[in-house]
Copies of this chain bind each other. A is one copy, B any other.
Amino acid sequence: MNGAEALVRTLIASGVDTCFMNPGTTEIHLVDALDRVPEMRGVLALFEGVATGAADGYGRMRGRPAATLLHLGPGLGNGLANLHNARRARSPVVNIVGDHATSHERHDAPLQSDIDTVARNVSRFVRRSTRPEDVGADARAAVTAALGPPGQVATLVVPADVSWSAGGAVAAPASPAAPAASDPARVEAIAAALRSGQPCVMLIGGRACRGEALVLAAAIASVTKAKILCETFPARLERGAGRPPVDRLAYFGDTALGQMGPARHVVLVDAPAPASFFAYPGAPSLLVPAGCATHALCSPEGDPLEALRMLADAVGARAADAPRQEASRPALPAGRLGTDAANTALAALMPEGAIVVDEGNTSTVFAAGRTAGAPPHDWLCLSGGSIGFGLPAAVGAAIACPDRKVVVLESDGSAMYSLQAWWTMARAGLDVTTLLLTNRSYAVLNMELGRAVAGEGGGGPRAREMLDLSRPDIDFVSLARGMGLQASRSTTADELVDQLGRALATTGPSVIELVLA
């Protein structure tokens, strides 16, 4: 057995059975192994950012890693932005990066580069296999690292000769590390703060945004009269009718500080201390009121569910105490098509179990509010802030959950980073509806420019031109059709209701472009 086959078989043994790939010559033996290991599903992406973003979406929904297969340093570079998002989402991802054969490196061939420097940007686990005998064990270590806790991006570099040489050995299944035990004293201190009568905020993130952890967090907040908020861009938030309703912290710091109110204690539940997305002259970066104490319930290496159970016991909260969102759907919109009509149509029509990947940016700021009472669904956000996440993540989510409808809320600026994902949706027949909200602008940057130069006479036409997406207008219907997808354009709310209704009632990929009035 060559190293390539040993690697693929090890991944299968460890439960990694999907590989999003854009391979090259140095990975050709890994590709060839697909015919000998049919348990591994290869999914071709036409750009590496699609492969890595798909792995992020997959990891968020499955809780275990997909693999990526990338071509040397440049291939990893192309995948880096979405690996950054995966790192911030604490998604488990195993990157397999091919490299030149060991003996070839000293010749500094054109594609040679220092892969490690790139991988370190997103990976604490970076390893290079040096022998086919080791590659199985190295892959096992990579899966173990990816699983965490916390989930992370792990990168294994595999020279071509390690792949093609005989001597490969399959390793035993990966076994993730046990989470760090929760600290009873810390839990008790937090319980005391919650019982103090002072204004408290529970800020949930990460693994506390779903399942029993979410319910317990909401119950604790309810019983202690704490305010519960969610981090601004959670990796995956369970919401909708019957689930605890939780507002997300706002993007702009002044609004976020308003949400915090007069809090004296902020309890962080698998969330980092809230910082503004960007810094602004004279504005605070840390989004907690002056004099407010922050308390982390557990570390990223810990188990927030266990800690929440302990905290619930300490404050006398039970799951049944959690508020539940009432079911409610807005009426179908009609007439003019703006962002509110788009959000309303989504809320009125989205099916139970939908996975919403939200990269609508400024256009979908109010989508969460509109859909609060829709049937239960998951909401995936741009955790790392690097646009180009939405379409690839939708690919991964659809492959992770083939029985659920994926709706990706996209914006024109963001979609253009990784539109190649549409081709993979078409090839794999993925059940993804893309709602492309076109406003012909990097709208958030126009807002940021306005804030930055307000009153200084800045923001002139040459600057604005760099934030403008018209001249020429982009025709996303043409782009989607060019990659083999069904696509249509809505110019009124009535058209959108009709097109979205049909898309959601049908299985398979489609794109609806909304030209916002």
Contacts and interface: CB of A to CB of B under 8 A. Distances in A.
Contacts of A386: 74-75, 111
Interface string A444-457: 11001100110000
Contacts of A198: none
List the number of copies, as a whole number.
Answer: 2
Nearest to A473: B484
B88 A110 contact: yes
A85 B278 CA distance: 32
A151 B35 CA distance: 45
A46 B417 contact: yes
A42 interface: yes
Contact of A420 (B31, B77, B416): B416
Which of A38, A101, A107, A426 has its CB near the most chain B CB atoms (within 10 A)? A107
Contact of A34 (B28, B463, B483): B463
Contact of A73 (B32, B84, B272): B84
Contacts of A1: none
Nearest to A232: B110
A121 B117 contact: yes
A469 B44 CA distance: 9
A512 to B, nearest CB: 15
A293 interface: no
Contact of A80 (B111, B118, B452): B118
B474 A479 contact: no
A113 B100 contact: no
Contacts of A108: 272, 275
A117 B116 CA distance: 9
Nearest to A84: B74
A400 B81 CA distance: 29
A281 B161 contact: yes
A49 B78 contact: yes
Contact of A452 (B32, B44, B277, B465): B32
Contact of A120 (B29, B84, B109, B114): B114
Interface string A479-499: 101111000000000000000
Given A448-B28, A474-B483, A38 B462 contact: yes
Contacts of A458: 32, 35
B474 A103 contact: no
Interface stretch (A17-25, A186-194, A310-318, A362-370): A17-25
Nearest to A416: B46
Interface in A286-302: 286
24 contacts: A25-B445, A28-B445, A28-B449, A28-B453, A32-B449, A34-B462, A35-B462, A74-B80, A77-B121, A78-B80, A78-B417, A87-B113, A104-B279, A107-B273, A108-B275, A109-B285, A111-B277, A160-B278, A165-B281, A426-B472, A472-B483, A473-B484, A475-B482, A476-B482
Interface of A: 21, 23-26, 28-29, 31-32, 34-35, 38, 42, 44, 46-47, 49, 73-75, 77-78, 80-81, 84-85, 87-88, 100-101, 103-104, 107-111, 113-114, 117-118, 120-122, 160-161, 164-165, 233, 272-273, 275-279, 281, 285-286, 383-386, 388, 413, 416-417, 419-420, 423, 426-427, 444-445, 448-449, 452-453, 458-463, 465-469, 471-479, 481-484
